[in-house]
Amino acid sequence: MLRKLALGGIRSRLRDYTVLFSGLVIASAVFYMFLALATNKTFLTSNSPLSMTTFIFMFGEVLLAIITLVYIVYANSFLMSMRQRDYAMFMMLGAKSSKIAQLIFVETVTVGVLATAVGTLLGIGLTTAAGHVLLGMLHSSAPGFSPLWWPAVLWTFVFFVVLFILAALFNARSLIKTKILTLLHAAQTPNRLRTKPVLLLIQALLGIGLLAIGYWAMAAVNKLGLSGIGLALVTIVLGSYFMFNATLVFLVGLLKKNKRFASRQLHTFTLSQLSFRIRDYTKILAVVSILFALALGAITVGLGFQRAIPQIAKAQDAYDLVQVAPTAKEKADANKLSGLKAKVVYTQKADGTNIYFKASELNAHPLEFPVFRSLGQSSIEKVTATNFKTKVAENSSNMTEFMRPVDSGKSFTVVSDARFAALAGQPYQVITYQVADFSANYDRIEALVKTQDKRLGFKPDSMTNGQKFGTYALITSMYGGLAFMGFFLGIAFLAMLASTLMFKILSGANYDKQRYLMLQKIGVRPALLRKSIAEEIGALFLFPGLLGVIHVLFGLQLFKALLADPYDGLWLPFTIFLVLYGLYYALTTWLYQSIVITKDLGGRR
């Protein structure tokens, strides 16, 4: 009978259970995704030039474990808030408390294990899909990467099941210890705020101080080494928490004191909702700001590495493709390159010792030699007939791609047009191509280079042809793995972020339903209610977002050693991320509005 009642309880609150369950599924899926990289030592060591990477991932594991712990604590209290009334009712009907304890334990563990199982499967699926898509995008392979990674499966299960068993024990204990009447009326708890301004000030200062230490540690990671990352981790997590606790409560209080603002429309109500919310939500908001920073940071760094690949390749070779004595078909294919910026045709002749350029052609279109400045930064040197000899002597490797294997060992010489015409031998064309986006033309350039190598007699897959393609592939193999990690973790953290905030907001919707019904009954326009909800949820999204952006701006300091300029082109990842975040805000608001604003005011179902 009791079992039947328990099941009936679940059925009647299916939507709440859906929110709870999907939240837990995402949490375990993301946990798995992260572990699939973090516990795969082969993958980590063969994809990162840094020996620190393994340790950085270990810190990541700790951080994610903390985040998941907070998440599960919230999920658990949500589960309890749904169930305690039912359980109290069973007790009133005469169920023994030992029986109830047993029931709670079974229910919590069942929900947990099921969610973990589904989540792990989802995690494997997401890992496969994300791995496939990202590696295709990056033209890279990530050696050792395996979507189905058993140690990750094992650890995800161990971690979640242990947590749920602990949660179940805690639930059973606390339910039995509480009085039945308290349980029945748990929703009507008094909530007057008592905040001491001094305490707020101390918390604010502590928050700012901790954040400052964390930001400094990230900037000084070269000096501090690994301990710097550990220090940043602890201080930023705690700093975010205190910031939210102090600053937001203070800010809302300030707005509430501004009577002109507060006494209009629903402002008082919205602010009151927020001030209760923020206290209740501080931990979640701190977690969200960290997740926001991790997701945005990972995507930014991933994009940074991806952008570094063509930059570094460009610093090695100014030409994206050089065709030597191409056939008509090869020329036609090369004309299909997209975003062609420059194409120059030179005429060459070769004899027993020399390869000849025409002076007029070089003067009209000087050759471009890249000059290395710093990591990923280069400038272009123009090479005309006048300085040809010295420049080529300085950096002969730049000319490799202008030479056929049959001509190897010969030297380049510039001659006048008259002299060129008088030379023996067949003239042939050498065409240089520069495109806007190498990556977009990757497949076509690869095909053209392969055809040419075969025709000219280069060994397949060697880099002796001097083409940019080979350099590009080499750099991709070094940086692609890092870019992959960035994007992959960015997606994982974004999913976790979405699920955390949405879960917390929607799990509170039931308590709020009553309030919005009252407001509608006393004649508040539905549009005004919608606005109030949008503002309230907007604040809950905005503040962690702002703090998250600041975290990222400082966090990018960590990558100074690896990227020429980690701050270069920030607008792109920021725009992508903010658009996603905005969409996700709109979705949460819409869901929330559809739960709490009802058309049926009479109260009949």
Minimum Å gap between C-beta 511 and another protein is 10
Minimum Å gap between C-beta 11 and another protein is 21
Minimum Å gap between C-beta 504 and another protein is 17
For another protein, the closer CB: 524 or 580: 524
Minimum Å gap between C-beta 517 and another protein is 8
Q: Comparing C-alpha atoms, which of 117, 110, 104, 115 is closest to residue 168?
A: 104
* Region 188-217 residues binding another protein, contact defined as CB under 8 A: 188-192
* Region 505-534 residues binding another protein, contact defined as CB under 8 A: 515, 518-528
For another protein, the closer CB: 361 or 536: 536
Question: Quick one: which of 177, 196, 329, 604 contacts another protein (CB under 8 A)?
Answer: 604
Minimum Å gap between C-beta 547 and another protein is 25
> Which residue matches tokens 């909530």?
191
For another protein, the closer CB: 457 or 603: 603
Minimum Å gap between C-beta 197 and another protein is 18
For another protein, the closer CB: 457 or 523: 523
- Cα separation, 544 vs 359, in Å, equals 63
Phi-psi region of 403 (alpha: psi -120 to 50; beta: other; left: phi over 0): beta
- Cα separation, 538 vs 583, in Å, equals 12
Minimum Å gap between C-beta 596 and another protein is 13
Q: Comparing C-alpha atoms, which of 442, 502, 437, 486 is closest to residue 467?
A: 442
For another protein, the closer CB: 524 or 534: 524
Total number of residues that touch another protein (CB under 8 A)? 34
Minimum Å gap between C-beta 263 and another protein is 4
For another protein, the closer CB: 268 or 411: 268
Q: Comparing C-alpha atoms, which of 176, 197, 257, 303 is closest to residue 577?
A: 303
Minimum Å gap between C-beta 515 and another protein is 6
* 307 CB-contact burial (10 Å; exposed 0-12 / middle 13-18 / buried 19+): buried
Cα diameter, the chain: 113
For another protein, the closer CB: 262 or 595: 262
Contact letters for another protein, residues 140-179 (x by CB under 8 A): ----------------------------------------
Round the CA-based radius of gyration of the chain to a whole number and report it: 32
* Region 174-193 residues binding another protein, contact defined as CB under 8 A: 188-192
CA 227 to chain centre: 24
Minimum Å gap between C-beta 520 and another protein is 7
- The three-state DSSP-derived secondary structure of 144-171 is CCCCCCHHHHHHHHHHHHHHHHHHHHHH
For another protein, the closer CB: 265 or 411: 265
* Region 451-470 residues binding another protein, contact defined as CB under 8 A: none
In degrees, rounded to 5, the angle at the alpha carbon of residue 164 between the alpha carbons of residues 163 and 166 is 65
Torsion of CA 441, 446, 447, 453, to 10 degrees: 140
* 463 CB-contact burial (10 Å; exposed 0-12 / middle 13-18 / buried 19+): middle
For another protein, the closer CB: 418 or 522: 522
Q: With residue 369 as reference, give the H or E element that holds it.
A: strand 367-374
For another protein, the closer CB: 359 or 519: 519
Contact letters for another protein, residues 253-272 (x by CB under 8 A): ------xx-xxxxxxxx--x
Question: Quick one: which of 273, 378, 507, 589 contacts another protein (CB under 8 A)?
Answer: 273
- The three-state DSSP-derived secondary structure of 196-251 is CHHHHHHHHHHHHHHHHHHHHHHHCHHHHCHHHHHHHHHHHHHHHHHHHHHHHHHH
- Cα separation, 536 vs 273, in Å, equals 8
Minimum Å gap between C-beta 506 and another protein is 19
For another protein, the closer CB: 114 or 193: 193
DSSP 163-196: HHHHHHHHHHHHHHHS-HHHHHTTT---------
For another protein, the closer CB: 188 or 426: 188
Q: Which stretch binds another protein (CB under 8 A): 134-142, 278-286, 484-492, 597-605?
A: 597-605
What are phi and psi for residue 193, nearest 5 degrees? -90, 130
- Cα separation, 293 vs 493, in Å, equals 9
Q: Is 74 in the site for another protein (CB under 8 A)?
A: no
Which residues, in sequence order, are CB contacts of 256 under 8 Å at separation 6+?
262, 268, 271, 272, 275
Tokens of 535: 């503002």
Minimum Å gap between C-beta 129 and another protein is 43
Per CB under 8 A, residues contacting another protein are: 188-192, 259-260, 262-269, 272-273, 276, 515, 518-528, 601-604
